[in-house]
């Protein structure tokens, strides 16, 4: 057992030291490559340049920094094929943009940005010198090919040159242009869509009025209080709702309880179910919804009294309802809403007062429809591509 | 039925944004600050935590949010103050020190509590030294998290919440 433990320890230490030495090798290799690549390009030693790049990628994996130079070399040789530009490449391009924008921002607002960069990047000076080299290279490729980088373009190759040469504004215009059918624009719009379609959490406090009509009007109008909890996705909202109705009935009514007909003036109503809303119209911050719901609806007509050995008498029916609603949203996702619904109930009160009839319910909602993760991801993307 | 109702309402309120954000205008009407020094004051937990250094990450997010809002021109000073030694006296001394270069200074105090953050921003006038506005945003109460969020996410939300509130308080105080 001790031998086994010793063997395991030796293997673990060997594994850790191997991983450590791989990291060190990678760091040394990257440092050397960052120093040598600009020189190799400027002296026209393209074979050696490719060998260094290959070696770097083999040891450390593909990174934004190597992809950038490879892309520029392909663009220079007119060998760039749009279809080869995959989503990983798109993500690394966003990473590059984020770093560049971070550097631009910090250069303008930080008292000593250099010290900050030391905490963000390994060897920032080497990295910035390399970026200067790729920026110059992108600008010279555009110049040699007679491309005006100030003009927005729908071609991925030109958009890439714009980013790498630091012409961000025309690039932002192009990538956000829905008319552009370039690979880059497609990746961007699919990323925005995938964030936007994330569900939002819907939660609200509900208060309102319950207005029965027909024979059931004998139960009277009642104020209601409850809450809803659910989610919203695209044009739909889905909510679980619990609502209580309070107050005395309009007049005394009869129910059949424990084998006899009993007169009562007790009432405590409830609604528990699932509501759906479909967004009909969206105008600025307010939205109109078509509503539908299915729930268990009921009321207590006799209150339990353990001393008298009286048990609660409750009546439940299926409530199918539909109506229309309006919500106005503030920027932080909180909202105020109004709903009007027609509820099909027809309580069965066998042996008691006829409680046939339906009800109209009016609701006021104070709630929140938001997903902080979604907002954060959108805001982060907007920081990179404003 | 009543206890269930009360419990449900409390659970619902637990994640309402207005519970997590608080702001006070201490001087009105406010003179729009034009050049503001931004100072980050850290507590020990914040300083000693791992990764890219939360303090540097916070600097990045704060700069992005302040620039996005474009509230005032600012410079992030490269100084480290410890929360333990930073009191009103220290804040007043800063005002005297900075009054030649900046007409106001913003003291930013990020605090980590588990996976959540509380960001406090205090805006001071430098000559004469006086606190103008104080805002804070707490991600555990001010954001609706129904699922696990990484600390980078909650730090971003807390910073954005605090800067949003600072922006609205400044606009209100200028009216």
Q: Is A147 helix (H, G, I), strand (E, B) or coil?
A: coil
What mean pLDDT comes out for the span A272-280? 96
In the predicted structure, residue B62 carries a pLDDT above the cut 60: yes
Give the separation between CA B46 and CA A184, rounded to whole angstroms. Answer: 39
* ipTM of the complex, rounded to two decimals: 0.84
Q: What is the pLDDT of residue A24?
A: 57
**A117 near B CB under 8 A:** no
**A378 near B CB under 8 A:** no
Q: What is the pLDDT of residue A71?
A: 92
Pick the residue from chain A with its C-alpha nearest to B140: A372
Of A220, A222, A228, the C-alpha closest to A362 is A222
Chain A residues whose beta carbon lies within 8 Å of the beta carbon of residue B66: 109
pLDDT category, B15, cuts 50, 70, 90? very low
Angle at A284 between CA A188 and CA B17, to 5 degrees: 80
Does some domain include residue B3?
no
Give the separation between CA A287 and CA B124, rounded to whole angstroms. Answer: 41
Does some domain include residue B15?
no
Q: Phi, psi at residue A270, to the nearest 5°? A: -150, 155
Of A329, A268, A254, A321, the C-alpha closest to A292 is A321
**Given an 8 Å threshold on Cβ–Cβ distance, is B153 in contact with A333?**
no
CATH 3.40.190.10 assigned to domain A200-370? The reply is: no
Does some domain include residue B59?
yes
For chain B, what is the largest distance between any 2 Cα atoms, rounded to a whole number of angstroms? 64
In the predicted structure, residue A106 carries a pLDDT above the cut 70: yes
Q: Give the closest of A106, A229, A372 to B145, CB-based.
A: A372
Strands B35-42 and B81-82, sheet pairing: parallel
Terminal C-alpha separation, chain B: 48
**Joined tokens for residue A183:** 């690979």
**Number of domain units in chain B:** 1
Q: What is the pLDDT of residue B115?
A: 86
**A116 near B CB under 8 A:** yes
Q: Is A113 helix (H, G, I), strand (E, B) or coil?
A: helix
Domain that holds residue B79: 24-174
Q: Is B164 helix (H, G, I), strand (E, B) or coil?
A: helix
Let me know if A8 is exposed, middle or buried by CB neighbors in 10 A (0-12, 13-18, 19+): exposed
Asked if residues A75 and A141 have their Cβ atoms less than 8 Å apart, the reply is: yes
- Output the domain CATH number for residue B151: 3.30.160.100
Which of A231, A372, A376 should we substitute to test contact with B (largest number of B Cβ atoms within 10 Å)?
A372
**Joined tokens for residue A253:** 């009514």
Alpha-carbon gap: A373 to the closest alpha carbon of chain B (Å)? 8
Mean pLDDT of chain B: 81
Does some domain include residue B130?
yes
Q: Name the CA radius of gyration of chain A, rounded.
A: 34
Does some domain include residue B7?
no
Q: What is the pLDDT of residue A16?
A: 46
Q: Tens of pLDDT along A48-84? A: 999 998 888 888 888 888 999 999 999 999 888 888 8
**Given an 8 Å threshold on Cβ–Cβ distance, is A106 in contact with B75?**
no
What mean pLDDT comes out for the span A131-139? 94
Does some domain include residue B10?
no
What mean pLDDT comes out for the span A179-204? 90
Angle at A231 between CA A230 and CA A235, to 5 degrees: 135
Domain-wise residue ranges, chain A: 62-194, 200-370
**Joined tokens for residue A320:** 């199918």
pTM greater than 0.90: no
**Given an 8 Å threshold on Cβ–Cβ distance, is A116 in contact with B59?**
yes
Which of A104, A106, A109 should we substitute to test contact with B (largest number of B Cβ atoms within 10 Å)?
A109
Q: What is the pLDDT of residue B18?
A: 56
């Amino acid at each position: 057992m001790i031998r086994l433990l010793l063997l395991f320890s030796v293997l673990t230490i060997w594994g850790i030291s191997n991983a450590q030495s791989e990291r060190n090798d990678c760091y040394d290799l990257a440092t050397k490559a960052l120093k040598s690549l600009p020189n190799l390009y400027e002296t026209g030693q393209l074979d050696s340049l490719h060998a260094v790049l290959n070696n770097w990628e083999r040891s450390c994996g593909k990174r934004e920094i190597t992809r950038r130079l490879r892309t520029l070399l392909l663009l220079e040789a007119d060998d760039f094929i749009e279809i080869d530009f995959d989503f990983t490449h798109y993500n690394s391009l966003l990473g590059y943009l984020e770093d560049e924008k971070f550097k631009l921002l910090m250069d303008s607002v930080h008292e000593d940005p250099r010290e900050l960069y030391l905490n963000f990047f390994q060897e920032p000076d080497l990295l910035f010198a390399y970026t200067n080299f790729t920026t110059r290279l992108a600008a010279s490729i555009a110049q040699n090919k007679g491309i005006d980088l100030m003009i927005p373009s729908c071609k991925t190759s030109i958009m890439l040159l714009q980013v790498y040469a630091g012409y961000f504004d025309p690039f932002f215009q192009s990538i956000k242009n829905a008319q552009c059918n370039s690979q880059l624009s497609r990746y961007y719009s699919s990323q925005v869509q995938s964030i936007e379609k994330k569900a939002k959490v819907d939660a609200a406090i509900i208060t309102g009025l319950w207005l029965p009509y027909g024979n059931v009007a004998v139960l009277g109008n009642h104020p209601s209080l409850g809450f809803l909890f659910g989610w919203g996705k695209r044009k739909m909202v889905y909510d679980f709702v619990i609502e209580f109705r309070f107050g005395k009935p309009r007049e005394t009514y009869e129910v059949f309880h424990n084998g006899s007909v009993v007169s009562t003036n007790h009432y405590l109503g409830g609604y528990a179910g699932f509501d759906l809303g479909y967004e009909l119209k969206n105008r600025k911050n307010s939205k109109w919804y078509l509503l539908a719901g299915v729930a268990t609806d009921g009321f207590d007509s006799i209150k339990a009294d353990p001393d008298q050995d009286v048990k609660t008498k409750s009546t439940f029916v299926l409530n199918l309802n539909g109506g229309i609603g309006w919500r106005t949203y503030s920027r932080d996702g909180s909202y105020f809403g109004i709903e009007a619904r027609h509820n099909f109930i027809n309580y069965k009160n066998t042996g008691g007062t006829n409680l046939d009839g339906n009800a109209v319910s009016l609701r006021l909602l104070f709630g929140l429809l938001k997903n902080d993760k979604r907002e954060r991801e959108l805001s982060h993307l907007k920081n990179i591509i404003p | 039925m009543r206890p269930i109702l009360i419990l449900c309402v409390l659970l619902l309120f637990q994640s309402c944004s207005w519970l997590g954000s608080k702001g006070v205008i201490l001087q009105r009407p406010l003179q729009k600050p034009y050049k503001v020094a931004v100072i980050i004051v850290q507590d020990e937990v914040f300083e000693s935590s791992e990764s890219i250094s939360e303090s540097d990450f916070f600097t990045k997010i704060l700069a992005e949010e302040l620039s996005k809002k474009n509230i005032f021109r600012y410079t992030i000073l490269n100084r480290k103050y410890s929360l333990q030694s930073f009191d009103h006296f220290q804040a007043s001394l800063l005002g005297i020190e900075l009054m030649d270069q900046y007409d106001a200074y913003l003291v930013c105090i990020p605090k980590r509590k588990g996976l959540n953050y509380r960001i406090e921003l205090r805006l001071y006038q430098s000559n004469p030294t006086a606190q103008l506005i104080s805002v804070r945003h707490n991600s555990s109460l001010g954001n609706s998290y129904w699922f696990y969020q990484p600390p980078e996410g909650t730090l971003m939300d807390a910073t954005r919440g605090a800067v949003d509130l600072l922006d609205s308080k400044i606009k209100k105080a200028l009216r």
